[in-house]
Structures are given as C-alpha cells and as structure tokens.
Amino acid sequence: MNLLLVWPILAPMFTAAAIVLSRSDVLRAHRIALAGAVVHLAAAGALLAAVIDRQYLVIWMGNWPAPFGISLVADYFSAVMVLITAVIHTAVTVYARKDIDPVLVRSGCYSFMQIVTAAVSGAFLTGDLFNLYVWFEVMLMASFGLLVMERRVSQLSGAVKYVAINLVATLLFLAAVGLIYGLTGSLNMADLHVKIAQVENPALVTAAAMLLMVAFGIKSALFPLFFWLPAAYPTLPATLAAFFSGLLSKVGVYALIRMFTLVFTADAGFTHTILLVVAGFTMLFGVVSAAAQMEMRRILSFHIISQIGYMVLGLALLTPAAVAGAIIYLLHNILAKANLFLVSGLVRHTAGSFHLEKVGGLYKTHGLIALGFLVSALALAGMPPLSGFWAKLLVIRASLESAHYAMAVLAAAVGLLTLFSMIKIWGEVFWKPFPSDSGQPPDAGTPVSVWMLAPVLTLAGITLLLGIFMDPVIRFAETAAWQLLDPRYYVAAVLGGAP
C-alpha cells in the first residue's frame, strides 16, 4: 500500500524517458505523454483513496528509518495536491495535441512537462527539507527548458528574470537549510517539529524561518518579489502557460503552508503577522496591476499573484477555518486559473490574437468557448454558487472571526476588482463586435479541435461541481486543516510511536 507514494513520482519519470526515445515521431510522443498522464492520474487517485482510508501513508526510502533517511509522506493535504496536479497535467496534455508546435515536441516539450510533474509530485510528498530543495531545483531546470524552447526574445527575457530570481530563492533556501541543520542536526520535517522547540536560541530559529519565508515567497510570487511571473508566463503557448499557472507557484504556497504549520509556529505572532501583511499587499498589487492590462494572458498572470494572496491570508490567520479556506482556495484556483489560460489559447486560435482590442464577437460564434470562460471567470471572481465563492467566504469569515476586519474588507474589495477584470475580458473578447480593422472576423464555421475544447469544458465542469457539492469538499478541507494544525499524528506516523 505504501508503494503508492512512489508511483506519482516514478510514472512521469519513466514516461519522460520513453518520450525521449520517441520524440521524433510527434504522434507517438503525444500518445506516450497522454498515456503517462493517465497513469499518473490513476496513481494519484489511488493514493488519495488510500490516505482517506488510513489518514497517513509513509515510506522510508532505502529502509532507512526517519530521521536518518528520506521519507515520503502523504496526508490529506499532500495527497489532494498530487491529485489536482494529475488533473491539470492530463488536461494540458490533451490540449497540447493541437496547441503545441511539432517542433517543440521534437525538442522535448513533453519530456520536460513530465519531469516538472514528477518534481511537483515529489515536492508535495517529501517529508525531508533537503529533498524538498532537490525537487524545487529539478522543477526549476525543467521549467526553464520549457520557457526558452521557442527561443523568442520575449521568452528569453522572461526566462532570465525567472531564473535569476529563483536562483536567489535557491541561495536563501540553502542558507536556511544549513542554519536549521546546524541548530537541530536534522532536516526531517517531522523531526524538526520536535527538535526546533528545543533550540536554545529562538532568534536563530526565527531567522531560519524568515529565510525560508522569503525563498518560498519568491517561488509563490508574493509581493514584492512577483515581477518574474508576469514577465515569463505571457510569453508561453497556452498549454504551457496553463501548466505553469496551475502548478509552479502553488508548490511555493504548499511549502509555506507545510513549514509554517508543522515547524515554525513558536513565534507565530511575528512570522504570521508578516505573512498577513504580505498577503494583503499581494492581493492588492496583483489585482490593481491586472486591471491596467489589455492582453489576456497578462491579465490572468497578474491575477495569479492576486489570488495567491488569499491562500497566504488563510495561512497567516492560522485558525482551522482559515487554513481550510486556504486549502479550498488553492484547489479551486488551480482549476480555474489553468482553465482560463486554456481558454486564452482558444481565443487566439479562433480570433487571431490575445489582445483584447483586436478580438470580439466570440459569444455569437463560439458559445462553448464562452461557456468555458464564463464558469471559470465567475469562479475566480467568487460568484455564488461556484467554488471560488465558498473559498473566499471561508477566508473572509475567518478574517472577521479573528478580528482582522481590514483584511476582510480588502479580500472582499479584491474580489470585486477581480470581477471587473473578468467582465472586461468578457466584454472585449466575447460580447463586443469584432473590430473592423482587425482583419476577417471569426465565424461559427471556424474549426475548434475537440482536443482543445474538451479539457476546457471538463475543467469548467469540475469547477461547477465543486461549487454545487461543496459540503464534502469543506469536510475534507477541515480534516486536512486539522492534520496540519495538530501535527502529532503526522509526527508519530513518520517517526513511529504514539502521538
């Protein structure tokens, strides 16, 4: 049963190797990539089912017991993150069949995507801080390969910013790892929960926490270190933009939630207050920057930043309701944001541009594209009864219950500004007539491949179902939040012994 922890990592690794051997045959490479994505999805689903049945799954690599060896650990939070990763990976792989240029396939695009998926899954499942660093670096190298694959000037410029700031995060991460190991003699997360409280110099513990906060904050695109994201993501094909938006920054958010509930809680009055302030600025600057854009992918990129602020707000409040809200927000946002980037690719395919002023009229000619956009956009803005509404409601209610009234007002205001951006896209892309100076307008006969449309409608359907059947989702998130905030059972599962 515990071997289920290994397969979400091994399956995409094996698939990447198989694709390398077949990448000259574009159709075969896609078939292998799709088969690998489906296997990964099945492994992730089986892992979540096993975790729901047993609460925790642990495996010690090489039979070296913790804290001496590397542990892979799955609880509710990590297991559902692996599953949502598999869902997005499968959706974008299907979409890529008609969106990714065959030249990119022959250059190894599918292999890099599989490696990123393996690294993301590994980061979610690791119970060791240094192993988390390793997975971050694997993810960084593979994602850089995807960023520069088309070799356009805008891509290279965005990739340089992406790598430069992430190398800073790497140095801070390594410095924190060294400091933590020097203080405790361990890097196992469960062991750190025990030993960090025994360190005689709490100021050094807080210093290590701040180093990790900045490192993970960079990778999450938190204020003020978010500039790399809107420089890089809008340069990518829609498939890769959706893939990156759904996964990369969310690994940083996951790491923040894991470390600042399991390890760094002794000085929460200081560390989590900083997270609270940063969350507020991230929400505000992201949504204001988005409102000023007129290119669809740039609007969506800035909204990634804004929405991450809500997730970090839930962590900063550090109450069961707030953490549950952050988890639901994380899941909802991954689905909605990835889908909106896929919709942007369909807009480009049918209307010829990502720029709002150069397109129009798609509501009349391509109603299914409009439907896919509408569901995901309204969910992102937090309109009832969609998933984003319940996620925002939980976070705002937790803010009020914690007497952080200003943050509750800010979260509500950011939701309204998000709705403004989504209405702007709707009005420009779907509602207004096609501009007369933009060439031939799209018509209902413009072909839309089922390979591209099916993932959009599927992700929109999942988003809709999450909102309609939110009760079991909330119960699941509450259990996940309880596991995070009361880590005794996590520690016992990894280290052995009674909680």
Q: Closest Cα to residue 477, out of 398, 403, 377, 419? A: 398
pTM exceeds 0.85, yes or no: yes
pLDDT of residue 438: 58
Taking only the tens of pLDDT, the chain with its 499 residues reads 678 999 999 999 999 999 998 878 889 999 999 999 999 999 999 999 999 998 899 998 877 877 888 899 999 999 999 999 999 999 999 999 998 988 888 988 999 999 999 999 999 999 999 999 999 999 999 998 898 887 777 778 888 888 888 889 999 999 999 999 999 999 999 999 999 988 888 899 999 999 999 999 999 989 888 888 888 888 889 999 999 998 888 999 999 999 999 999 888 889 999 999 999 999 999 999 998 888 999 999 999 999 999 999 999 999 999 999 999 999 999 999 999 999 999 999 888 888 888 888 888 888 899 999 999 999 999 898 899 899 999 999 999 999 999 999 999 999 999 999 999 999 989 888 878 765 666 665 567 889 999 999 999 999 999 999 999 999 999 999 999 999 999 999 998 764 5
pLDDT of residue 328: 95
Q: SS in 3 state form for the chain?
A: CHHHHCHHHHHHHHHHHHHHHHCCCHHHHHHHHHHHHHHHHHHHHHHHHHHHHHCCEEEEHHHCCCCCCCEEEECHHHHHHHHHHHHHHHHHHHHHHHHCCHHHHHCCHHHHHHHHHHHHHHHHHECEHHHHHHHHHHHHHHHHHHHCCCCCHHHHHHHHHHHHHHHHHHHHHHHHHHHHHHHHCCCEHHHHHHHHHHCCCHHHHHHHHHHHHHHHHHHHCCCCCCCHHHHHHHHCCHHHHHHHHHHHHHHHHHHHHHHHHHCCCCCHHHHHHHHHHHHHHHHHHHHHHHHCCCEHHHHHHHHHHHHHHHHHHHHHHCCHHHHHHHHHHHHHHHHHHHHHHHHHHHHHHHHCCCEHHHCCCHHHHCHHHHHHHHHHHHHHHCCCCCHHHHHHHHHHHHHHHCCCHHHHHHHHHHHHHHHHHHHHHHHHHHHCCCCCCCCCCCCCCCCCCHHHHHHHHHHHHHHHHHHHCHHHHHHHHHHHHHHHHCCHHHHHHHHCCCC
Q: What span, in angstroms and rounded, lies between the C-alpha atoms of 464 and 457? A: 10
pLDDT of residue 441: 66
